[in-house]
Amino acid sequence: MRGYVNIPGSVDCNCCKVCGARPIIVLIKDIGYVVKCPVDDSHYRTHPGLIDINDWNIHNTNCINHAEEKSIFSFH
Ligand SMILES: [Zn+2]
């Protein structure tokens, strides 16, 4: 599995419009960074290169934010 990093909570980014997951940043060797949905590769992903959260946000408006609600209301 390739390495990935979570986007810090202080960064203003939308959740996946398909499933509501918070996106992750994946570094693909020799290609660059991709902002993508952690759940499914078929959901939106940015073009490899620089980290482009702006592009992610443009393509994932009206997100339902399931992941955030889960983290607030579950205890683990
Ligand atoms: Zn998704």
Looking at residue 41, its pLDDT comes to 93
Looking at residue 74, its pLDDT comes to 53
Ligand 1 centroid to Cα of residue 37, in Å, is 5
Looking at residue 43, its pLDDT comes to 96
Ligand 1 centroid to Cα of residue 23, in Å, is 8
Ligand 1 centroid to Cα of residue 6, in Å, is 15
Q: 5-35: per-residue pLDDT in tens?
A: 888 888 889 999 999 999 999 999 899 999 9
Ligand 1 centroid to Cα of residue 38, in Å, is 7
Decide: 13 and 54 in contact? Cβ < 8 Å: no
Ligand 1 centroid to Cα of residue 66, in Å, is 11
pTM of the model: 0.75
Q: 28-51: per-residue pLDDT in tens?
A: 989 999 999 999 999 999 999 999
Give the residue among 26, 24, 21, 23 at the shortest CA–CA distance from 3.
26
As a whole number of angstroms, the distance between CA 35 and CA 43 comes to 11
